[in-house]
Amino acid sequence: MAPSPTAPIPPASPARPLTGRTGGGGLDGGTRLRPLRLLRSVPLPIWLITALFGALLASWSVLVPQYHAPDEPNQVDAVMRLVQGAGWPHPGNAFVRPDGVGAIAASPYGSEAAPYELDFAPITRAGAVPRDDRPTWDELGDTRQADGEVQPPGDIQQLVQHPPLYYLVGAAALWALPGDGDELRWDVTIGALRLMSALMVMWLPLLAWAGAHRLSGGNRIAATCAALLPLAIPQLSHIGASVNNDNLLALTAGLATVTIIYVLRGDTSLRTAAWAGLFIGLALLSKSLGIVLVPMAALAYLVAWRRARRDAPASARSPAASGRGARAGRGASSGRDAAAGQDRDAPFLLADTGLMTVLPGATRFPWRQLLLGGVIMIASGGWWWVVNLVRYHTFQPETPGFPPGDYLGDDWGAYLDILVNGTARRWWGSFGWFETNLPMEVVAAASVVVIALFALAVIRGRDGRTRVNLLFLLWPTIGLFGLMTLQATLAFTDHGHVSGISGRYLYAGVTALAIGVGMGAAAFGRHVSRYFPVLFLAAAAAVQWWSVRTVLTHFWKPAGGDLGDAWEAMTTWSPWPPSAAVVTVWTGVALAVMVLVACVWTAVLGDGQDRPEPPVFRDPTGWPPGPDIWVPGRLTVEDPATDHVSRPSPQPAPGTAPETAEPVPAEPSRTDSAPSGSAAPKSTPSRSGPDERGSSGSFRSGSSTVTSAPSTAKGKPPSTTSPVPSH
């Protein structure tokens, strides 16, 4: 029950400062990065999308033949080097070990006549050795060639120029299995490492959701579309289900991206700085390309600091800073003083909830955050590159004797075609060792859609801060492409060979790109954007099916056979029994159906930011009937859509006209009561309410009408959103 007009005023519960200003910075910062709380808030549809992506990756780990993935023979050998205690020597002093060479011969990498040369012919069922007869990894070192000769020595092992974190994780995973790491069958060893990579990459949809949810203020459409984008990149499924250190970089870069988004939205706490340092350090210990995250994080802290300094004067003038005593019911005089000192450009109900408050310490230069994050970054991974600079006087040593790649001479046109079109194709779908590809028309169309949606998100950003935040998300992809281009161009200029160009080098930016694309889908407006999750899922299903058919046909379909024969050949070479493939496929189908239902339901619900109906102002005489109570001297509004109770408006100073109030939903309260204040005015406000964008009309007192002054947010205070997703 609501209290009587003379009831004492209960203390106002502190509101969680979430979205006071939509672009981030001091005024809206308050929601801090708490990973466990964030995980508990993940809605069921996002878990279903993540599980579907995991099932898709597991399927791709069997779909692509062993060692028909870029650098996979050397990637597996690098893991087994640590399993067998061979260490991590200087580049140029390491070669593929004899059992690694034997694994190449045992796998479908080449043909029976030339087992050490990459073969493009369909892989036959008859060429597979029965599972029970396949040798263990440590037996492969004694492999003999068809003529009885000893197998050739291994090629140069170039991967020791990279830091060893991914390979240490792989070695730990194999040590955890029965067989002491190298006593498993060779195909089980590769299959287990592929599943380990899939387990790293499968969380990208969840990370994309987390970043889009925070950056968009809880927009359901943006967050769901961001989570669906990784499923629409077949090459990501291919690389994510192969043995490759880019997978750990994609995971750690995604974690760092979400953390940086929280920083941009005002979370400059030391705890978040520690998380940022840890994730960036782990990215640096995965691959050198993680260096692009360092300037991104540092600049994010400077931007957040600058925003807090700009917002501090408005916060100091707002009742959140000067009138808290009035909200606690100190009396009519103190309430009038607070109201009299209120900034006329600030919506006082919004300020009264505490949303206009700059967090303590946010205006100080973030040297503590930068120092703490930097120390943790160096301790958790950056030390590897410091050692390189000290010991080898270079950031990443080159590998002498490594094959330079295809020779193009001075044909810059061919080089630029590989750099631009080749990178795009290898980002979307160039399977195996770039052995079979998606049509260039599909690649071009998909690229145009992604670019257009991201550009639309920037153009239609709700304010300048949102646009800046979105431009931050472009940096990982642009920075990675710039580093790749610089290295490849210098090599091409030096010796005319093309090397180091691949779309997977940009996958550290997939999470950031997905967030921007999701917000671009939401920029179409609530009536159109609600259908985008279904469209995203349909597009992902279409391009994945096209890719699966392409891979099955190229690698597994025998001459004159059909897809059923291709399935038989694939499951025969698989390290797992055929029933495992059947269970995985049907699990994926069931999850796809559930995700489709969730996307349809999302279309019904909309973006989760629907504005409430205009609130009804009631007086204590009981008309119109209901729980909304007008208390003398104060105004209370109950929002029927969210059951949120707004904070009361301050009482105007004597002799002044009352300011126009804008009812804004506040945090959920455990009570339905509202504070009461001083004496009642002589007339009650007439019925009025906010328009669709949340701005209110004028309040009428007697025959006079007072129009509100423009707020600090371009005349209309933004609506608040719940920190818990409303899927």
Element (H, E) at 701: strand 699-701
Residue 399, pLDDT score = 84
**Any idea which residue has 């992902």 for tokens?**
540
Q: What value does the mean pLDDT take over residues 254-282?
A: 96
- pLDDT (tens digit, 9 = 90+) per residue, 101-125? 999 999 999 988 888 899 877 899 9
Find, among 529, 551, 472, 508, the residue nearest to 65 by Cα: 551
- Judge if 264 and 396 occupy the same domain: yes
Among 695, 592, 492, 697, CA closest to 45: 592
Q: What's the N-to-C CA distance of the chain in angstroms?
A: 31
Note whether 662 and 349 are within 8 A (CB).
yes
In a domain, 409, yes or no: yes
56 neighbors 563 (Cβ within 8 angstroms): no
pLDDT given for residue 165 in this prediction: 97
Q: Give pLDDT, residue 39.
A: 93
Phi, psi dihedral angles at 391 (to 5 degrees):
-85, -45
Helix, strand, coil shares of the chain, percent, nearest 5, are: 55, 5, 45
pLDDT classification of 609: cutoffs 50, 70, 90: low
- With a cut of 80, say whether residue 54 has pLDDT above it: yes
Burial label, 493 (beta-carbon count in 10 A; 0-12, 13-18, 19+): exposed
> 725: cis peptide before it, omega within 30°?
no
Are 642 and 612 a contacting pair, CB within 8 Å? yes
Residue 717 belongs to some domain of the structure? yes
Backbone phi, psi, residue 261, to 5°: -60, -40
State whether residue 279 is helix, strand or coil: helix
| Residue 397 shares a structural domain with residue 507 | yes
Determine the Cα–Cα distance for residues 152 and 91; give it in Å rounded to an integer: 21
On whether both 261 and 130 belong to a single domain, the answer is: no
- pLDDT value of position 38: 93
Decide if pLDDT at 418 tops 60. yes
Residue 318's pLDDT band (cuts 50, 70, 90): low
Domain's final residue, options 194, 224, 243? 194
Does 463 map to a domain? yes
Do 312 and 712 meet the contact criterion of CB atoms below 8 Å apart? no
Identify which of 624, 616, 593 has the alpha carbon closest to the alpha carbon of residue 687: 616
Residue 354 lies in a domain: no
- Residue 130 and residue 261 in one domain: no
Question: Which residue from 222, 297, 224 is spatially nearest to 264, judged by alpha carbons?
Answer: 297
How deeply is 622 buried, as exposed, middle or buried, from its count of CB atoms within 10 A (0-12, 13-18, 19+)? Answer: exposed
Cβ pair 77, 97 in contact under 8 A: yes
336 in a structural domain: no
Distance between CA 700 and CA 684 in Å, rounded?
8
User: What amino acid is encoded at 221 in this protein?
Assistant: I
Q: pLDDT band for 180, please (50, 70, 90 cuts).
A: confident
Residues 662, 580 within the same domain: no
Q: Report residue 275's pLDDT band, with 50, 70 and 90 as the boundaries.
A: very high
Q: Which structure tokens are listed for 492?
A: 């091409």
Tell me, what's the pLDDT at 314?
A: 67
User: Do 261 and 408 fall into the same domain?
Assistant: yes
Look at residue 330 and tell me whether its pLDDT is greater than 50: no
115 and 231 in one domain?
A: no
100, pLDDT greater than 90: yes
Arithmetic mean of pLDDT, 650-665:
45
pLDDT band at 360 (very low <50, low <70, confident <90, very high): low
Mean pLDDT across the chain: 80
Query: DSSP secondary-structure letter at 418?
Result: I
Is the pLDDT at 349 greater than 70? The verdict is: no
Residue 207 lies in a domain: yes
Cβ atoms 78, 159 nearer than 8 A = yes
638, pLDDT greater than 60? no
Q: Residue 168's pLDDT is what?
A: 97
Structural domain for 560, as ranges: 43-57+201-317+359-605
pLDDT confidence of residue 682? 43
Distance between CA atoms of residues 319 and 347, nearest Å: 10
Minimum mean pLDDT among 261-275, 392-406, 453-467: which range?
392-406
Both tokens of residue 546?
């096209």
Asked whether residue 460 falls in the same domain as residue 474, the answer is yes
- CB-based burial, 316-350: b 16+ in 10 Å, e otherwise: ebbbbbbbbebbebeeeebbbbbbeebbeebbbbb
Q: 667-722: per-residue pLDDT in tens?
A: 443 433 333 344 444 444 443 333 333 333 333 333 333 343 444 434 444 444 44
- 315 pLDDT band, cuts 50/70/90, is low
CB neighbourhood size of 34 (10 A): 15
Question: Contact at 8 Å (CB) between 134 and 191?
Answer: no
The position carrying tokens 């009650």 is: 684
- Please check whether residues 480 and 363 belong to one and the same domain: yes
Residue 22: inside a domain, yes or no? no
Across 44-58, 403-417, 419-433, least confident range? 403-417
**How many structural domains are present in the chain?**
3
Domain boundary among 150, 167, 194: 194
Residue 25: predicted pLDDT: 40
What is the percentage of the chain residues whose pLDDT exceeds 70? Answer: 73
CA distance 327 to 512: 41
**Mean pLDDT within 157-179:** 93
Q: How far apart (Å, rounded) are the C-alpha atoms in residues 677 and 558?
A: 84
User: 583, 605, 627: which is the final residue of a domain?
Assistant: 605
682 and 596 within one domain: no
- Split at pLDDT 50, 70, 90, the class of 142 is confident
Least confident segment among 360-369, 601-610, 612-621 = 612-621
pLDDT of residue 403: 80
Average pLDDT over residues 202-222: 95
Mean pLDDT of 515-543: 95
- DSSP assignment of 46-110, as one string? HHHHHHHHHHHHHHHHHHSPTT-STTHHHHHHHHHHHHTT-----TTS-B--HHHHHHHHHTTTS
pLDDT one-digit tens code per residue, 451-494: 999 999 999 988 899 999 999 999 999 999 999 999 999 999 98
Residues 313 and 409 occupy one common structural domain: yes
Residue 510 pLDDT > 90: yes
Q: Is the same domain home to 281 and 220?
A: yes
> 90-99, 185-194, 576-585 — which is least confidently predicted?
90-99
DSSP strands (E only) in 375-528:
406-407, 430-431, 436-437, 497-498
pLDDT attached to residue 187 = 95
The reply to whether 31 falls in a domain is no
